[in-house]
Amino acid sequence: MLKFSISVAATILGAVLGAALCADRMPDALDWVYKTVKATSTKPVSVEQTEAVTALPVVKPKTTAKETKPVPPVAVSDTAPQPDNYTWGRSAFGRLSLALLGMIVGGAIGSAIGRVLEKWFTNWEKMPLGERVTIITGILIGVLVTIALSPIVTGTGLAYGPVVIGGLMLGLSALGIFALKSIEEALPWHRASGNRRRSGIKVLDTNVLIDGRIYDVIRAGFLEGDLYVPQFVIHELQHIADSSDSNRRQRGRRGLDVLKRIQTERTVDVGSQDRFAGDAKEPVDDRLVKLAKAVGGDLVSNDFNLNKVATIQEVKVLNLNDLVVSLKPTVLPGEALELTVLRLGNQPGQGVGYLDDGTMVVIENGSELVGNVVRVEVTQVIQTERGKMIFADAAPFALDDRLTKRSARGRATP
């Protein structure tokens, strides 16, 4: 609502100011242009040019034996004198036309300024409290120093004293903000704000882009908040995509393609907060943790070691592997499953099959059922860090299946 109000107000204000200025000032401007063009087109002949013309020798035409008939004079019509002023701009129709032109141009300019203000206010709202205090304090320092130096500037008697004072205020304010940002770790309000306020920004890691499943999660609407991709993550993807190894090159290109597809679904901020990531010489994982902690965001990653380090530093981590595990259907001992036995197991008499979500099922008494769709009874479920492993037994349903097949053959024979 704030963005809409700013955009509409800037557009209306620009249109009104444009119409007023064009209706009031444009007639005088058009009149000045008219007089300038008229003066240059009707420039009088100078005295030097007249004397030069009269000093030329007079050449008498040669007479011939034949008499020429006199040429009758051509009648020259008197032209109406041009007006001294351009009166169209001061007429009612002219002012209305100029006001309409000013409204269109002013509205376009106001709309552009409104979009810039919207972006500025959005960044200000997302900015941590400590950084806001730093910016305001830096501006106040610049204003106070400028007030102290303004008597010196006005005492010099410069014609453009106010302009110099304004430029000095802007320069000193920028210098104050830069100086405070360089020592913001030692500022009391920066330490007090810490990471208590969460911004909801989701910082995407390199491996989660290469994995590709993040695109489906975003498209389904299960990942809220603003998406952020650091510039150094894109550089790492480009480096992987330029690798001589075909597998690494394919992974890097897939990560870049996934990022491009994500940008078609959501707005992705790239590199605007990288100043919080620390030195560029540090490892990418360390910079990701520093960045997420500084902006109060959540780190989206599938890297197990990175998740542990981020958790220790009190950075919230969203792991897609944990999401996949949590979304798998719950299987309890004693339940019946129907699946295909694909291969033999490691132990004698075992067969191995898989559920639709990829969960492996070790089937006792399933070695003779390879290639068949069978019903099994779950005997044990083991939860590991990589997922679930299910143990089942095909013996309880083997007799029922054989009886069903025999009865079906008996009905089929005449």
The CA distance from 247 to 406, in Å, is 52
Residue 298, in any domain of the structure: yes
Q: For residues 11 and 121, state if they share a domain.
A: yes
Task: Tell whether 312 is covered by a domain.
Answer: yes
Residues 399 and 283 grouped into a single domain: no
Q: Distance (Å, rounded) from C-alpha 202 to C-alpha 129?
A: 19
Torsion over CA: 74, 80, 82, 88 (sign): negative
Residues 121 and 2 in one domain: yes
* Same domain, residue pair 122 and 8: yes
3-state class (DSSP) for residue 136: helix
Q: Is 270 part of a structural domain of the chain? A: yes
| Domain C-terminal end among 172, 193, 214 | 193
| Domain CATH code at residue 266 | 3.40.50.1010
The answer to whether residues 217 and 287 belong to one domain is yes
Report the predicted TM-score, pTM, of the whole model to 2 decimal places: 0.47
**Residues 231 and 282 reside in one and the same domain:** yes
If you write DSSP's letter for every residue of 57-94 in order, what string do you get? PPPPPPP-SSPPPPPPPPP-PPPPPPPSS--GGGSHHH
Which amino acid is located at 70 in the chain?
P
370 within a domain of the structure (yes/no)? yes
pLDDT at position 410, please? 43
Say if strands 336-344 and 268-270 run parallel, antiparallel, or are unpaired: unpaired
In a domain, 155, yes or no: yes
Of 326, 346, 379, the domain-final residue = 326
Q: Which residue range(s) make up the domain with 222?
A: 202-326
- Look at the chain and report how many structural domains it folds into: 4
| 30 located within any domain | yes
CA–CA gap between residue 106 and residue 234 (Å, rounded)? 40
Element (H, E) at 362: strand 360-364
273 in a structural domain: yes
Walk along the chain (414 residues) in steps of 10 and give the mean pLDDT of each run. 65 85 82 79 56 53 53 50 68 83 87 82 73 86 88 75 83 86 73 57 91 89 88 92 89 92 89 82 88 86 87 87 76 87 89 85 88 89 76 72 44 43
- pLDDT for the residue numbered 140: 92
The mean pLDDT value of the chain amounts to: 78
Q: Which domain CATH number covers 390?
A: 2.40.50.140
Looking at the fold, whether 289 and 372 belong to one and the same domain comes out as: no
The packing angle between helices 129-155 and 161-182, to 10°, is 150
Q: How far is CA 51 from CA 46, 58, 255, 391, in A?
A: 9, 14, 85, 120
Q: Of 276, 295, 326, which one is at a domain's C-terminal end?
A: 326
Q: Given the DSSP bridges, would you call strands 202-204 and 298-300 parallel, antiparallel or unpaired?
A: parallel
The answer to whether residues 408 and 320 belong to one domain is: no
Same domain, 161 and 224: no
Q: Does 113 share its domain with 189? A: no
β-pairing verdict for 350-354 and 360-364:
antiparallel
Same domain as 144, residue 115: no
Q: Are residues 121 and 137 in the same domain?
A: no
pLDDT of 255:
92
CA dist 240 and 225 (Å) reads 28
